[in-house]
C-alpha cells in the first residue's frame, strides 16, 4: 500500500504566454543573442517563439564578416537575418566599430589616420548597406569607455581621436537612414563615472546634430548585484531624448547553482526587466544567449555560469519567470525540484500494523521536515522510531529526530511506527511541510 503526495509539480514548461507577447503588451521588444548554427531543434524553436528580436552574438563583427581584406563572409549573418524575418523578429546589428574581434589584417596593419578613416567609412557603408531596411538598430560603436570615463585606447581612438564616434554614426545613418543607431557599453547600467561619460557624450553628440538614437546598457551582471540606480540611469538617458536598450543581459553565479541562487537570479532578472518596463523609452531587453549551453560566461569566468534564463537542457529557470512576471505574466514558475513523502504499510496483522514514511528529494533539499496525515478508520499509533510522532484524535504529526532532519538533493530519509487498527486500514494522504 502506497500513498504519495507530490509537494510540487516538477514539470518544466514555459509560461503560456511567450516573453515576446508579454513584451509587446508592455511596449517592449524582448531579444536574445544567437549563434546561427544552432538555430534548429529546441534552440531554434525557443529563439523563434519566445523572442521578438535577435542579435547575432558574433556573426556581424568585423572579424567574422571580413576575415581577409576584401573577402566577405556573410553566411551566418544572412542566416540569422533570414530566420528573424521568417519569425517576425527584429534584428539588432552588432557591432560595427569595436576594439575586439577585428580581423588580423586590420589590427596588424599600419594605417595613416586618413586610411583608417576610409576603412571605417567603407566597412560601415558595406555592412550597413548590405542589410539596409532589415536591421532595426545597430550597435554602431561598442565599448568606447574605460571604467573611469576616459576614452578607451583603441585602434580607432588612437588613430582618429574621439571623433571616430561621430564619424561612425554619421556613416551608419547615411547607409541606412531607418536603422536606430546606438552606442553600447558595459558597466554603464548604474549611475557611475563610466555611464556619466556616456551620458555626456550622447548629450554632446545630440547638441552637435550627430545622429544618435539610443544607448545600449549591456548588463553583464553578477548575482545579487543589480545596480540600485539602474532605473534612474535609464531615465536620465531617456530624458536626454534617446532610447535605451538592455542589450546583453546575463547574471552569472558561482557554480554550482542551487535553489537559493536560482531564486536570487530570478529576483535579479525581474528587477532589471522591471526597471526597463518602468521607463517608456527603454525599448528592448535582450539576453546574451537564452540558454546556459550558449553563454560566453562559463569559459570567460571559470567557476561561474548558469547566467541565462534557460538551463542547458532548454528548461526555463526561475530567471525566465522573473522576466515574465515583470512583463505582467502570471504563470507560477515550476519548481526546480521537489521533495515528496510516501506512506506505506510494510506489514499488517490482525490488530496492528507497521507503517513507514520515506521522504525523498530530487532537485531540492530539506534541513528539517514534518509529515502530517489524518487517519480515516480509527488507526492509532503506539510507537514511532526515527521521528517524533504525536496523534490527537485522527490527526498525526511526525517531525524529524535530531539526527535526520537533513534530506539532501537526491537522498531520502525514512521513519517507522507501529499502530493499531480494526475494520479497515486505508492509506491516508500525507502532507510534507
The three-point CA angle 221-225-230 to 5° equals: 80
In whole angstroms, the minimum distance from the beta carbon of 77 to ligand 9MR comes to 14
Cell numbers linked to 77: 549573418
* Nearest residue (CB) to ligand 9MR, 101 versus 374: 101
* Nearest residue (CB) to ligand 9MR, 46 versus 307: 307
Name residues contacting ligand 9MR, limited to 74-133 (CB under 6 A): 100-101
Rounded Cα gap, residues 217 and 429, in angstroms:
52
* The only residue of 151, 296, 304, 314 in contact with ligand 9MR, by rule CB under 6 A: 296
Q: Which residues contact 207 (CB under 8 A, 6 or more apart)?
A: none
* Nearest residue (CB) to ligand 9MR, 143 versus 176: 143
Parallel, antiparallel, or unpaired for β 53-56 and 29-34?
parallel
In whole angstroms, the minimum distance from the beta carbon of 290 to ligand 9MR comes to 13
In whole angstroms, the minimum distance from the beta carbon of 137 to ligand 9MR comes to 15
Say whether residue 248 binds ligand 9MR (CB under 6 A).
yes
Residue 346, class by beta-carbon neighbours within 10 Å (0-12 exposed, 13-18 middle, 19+ buried)? exposed
The answer to whether 175 touches 132, Cβ cutoff 8 Å, is: yes
Say whether residue 58 binds ligand 9MR (CB under 6 A).
yes
In whole angstroms, the minimum distance from the beta carbon of 123 to ligand 9MR comes to 16
Cell numbers linked to 69: 581584406
* Nearest residue (CB) to ligand 9MR, 57 versus 93: 57
Say whether residue 340 binds ligand 9MR (CB under 6 A).
no
Say whether residue 57 binds ligand 9MR (CB under 6 A).
yes
Residues with catalytic annotation?
248
Name residues contacting ligand 9MR, limited to 137-196 (CB under 6 A): 142, 186
The answer to whether 173 touches 166, Cβ cutoff 8 Å, is: no
Rounded Cα gap, residues 263 and 354, in angstroms:
40
Parallel, antiparallel, or unpaired for β 137-142 and 90-97?
parallel
Contacts to ligand 9MR by CB under 6 A: 57-58, 100-101, 142, 186, 218, 248, 296
Amino acid at each position: 500500500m502506497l500513498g504519495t503526495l507530490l509537494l510540487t509539480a516538477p514539470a518544466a514548461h514555459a509560461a503560456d504566454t511567450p516573453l515576446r507577447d508579454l513584451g509587446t503588451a508592455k511596449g517592449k521588444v524582448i531579444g536574445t543573442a544567437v549563434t546561427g548554427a544552432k538555430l534548429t531543434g529546441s534552440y531554434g524553436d525557443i529563439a523563434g517563439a519566445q523572442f521578438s528580436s535577435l542579435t547575432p552574438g558574433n556573426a556581424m563583427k568585423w572579424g567574422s564578416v571580413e576575415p581577409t581584406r576584401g573577402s566577405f563572409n556573410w553566411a551566418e549573418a544572412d542566416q540569422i537575418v533570414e530566420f528573424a524575418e521568417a519569425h517576425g523578429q527584429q534584428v539588432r546589428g552588432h557591432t560595427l566599430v569595436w576594439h575586439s574581434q577585428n580581423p588580423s589584417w586590420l589590427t596588424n596593419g599600419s594605417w595613416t589616420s586618413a586610411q583608417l578613416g576610409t576603412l571605417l567609412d567603407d566597412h560601415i557603408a558595406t555592412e550597413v548597406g548590405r542589410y539596409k531596411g532589415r536591421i532595426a538598430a545597430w550597435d554602431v560603436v561598442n565599448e568606447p569607455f574605460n571604467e573611469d570615463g576616459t576614452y578607451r585606447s583603441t585602434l580607432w581612438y588612437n588613430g582618429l581621436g574621439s571623433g571616430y564616434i561621430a564619424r561612425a554614426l554619421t556613416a551608419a545613418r547615411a547607409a541606412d537612414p531607418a536603422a536606430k543607431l546606438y552606442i553600447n557599453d558595459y558597466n554603464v547600467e548604474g549611475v557611475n563615472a563610466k555611464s556619466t561619460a556616456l551620458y555626456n557624450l550622447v548629450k554632446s553628440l545630440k547638441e552637435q546634430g550627430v545622429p544618435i538614437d539610443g544607448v545600449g546598457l549591456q548588463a553583464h551582471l553578477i548575482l545579487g548585484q543589480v545596480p540600485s540606480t539602474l532605473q534612474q540611469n535609464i531615465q536620465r538617458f531617456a530624458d536626454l531624448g534617446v532610447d535605451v536598450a538592455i542589450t546583453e543581459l546575463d547574471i552569472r553565479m558561482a557554480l554550482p547553482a542551487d535553489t537559493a541562487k536560482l531564486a536570487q537570479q530570478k529576483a535579479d532578472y525581474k528587477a532589471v526587466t522591471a526597471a526597463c518596463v518602468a521607463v517608456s523609452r527603454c525599448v528592448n531587453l535582450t539576453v546574451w544567449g537564452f540558454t546556459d549551453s550558449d553563454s560566453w560566461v562559463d569559459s570567460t569566468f571559470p567557476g561561474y555560469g548558469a547566467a541565462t534564463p534557460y538551463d542547458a537542457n532548454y528548461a526555463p529557470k526561475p530567471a525566465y519567470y522573473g522576466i515574465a512576471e515583470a512583463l505582467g505574466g502570471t504563470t507560477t514558475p515550476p519548481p526546480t525540484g521537489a521533495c515528496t513523502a510516501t506512506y506505506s504499510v510494510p506489514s499488517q496483522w490482525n490488530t496492528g500494523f507497521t507503517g513507514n514514511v520515506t521522504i525523498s528529494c530530487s532537485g531540492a533539499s530539506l534541513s528539517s521536515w514534518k509529515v502530517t496525515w489524518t487517519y480515516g478508520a480509527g488507526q492509532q499509533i503506539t510507537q514511532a522510531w526515527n521521528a517524533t510522532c504525536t496523534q490527537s484524535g485522527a490527526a498525526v504529526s511526525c517531525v524529524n529526530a535530531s539526527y535526520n532532519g537533513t534530506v539532501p538533493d537526491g537522498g531520502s530519509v525514512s521513519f517507522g511506527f507501529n499502530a493499531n487498527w480494526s475494520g479497515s486500514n486505508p492509506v491516508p494522504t500525507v502532507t510534507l511541510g
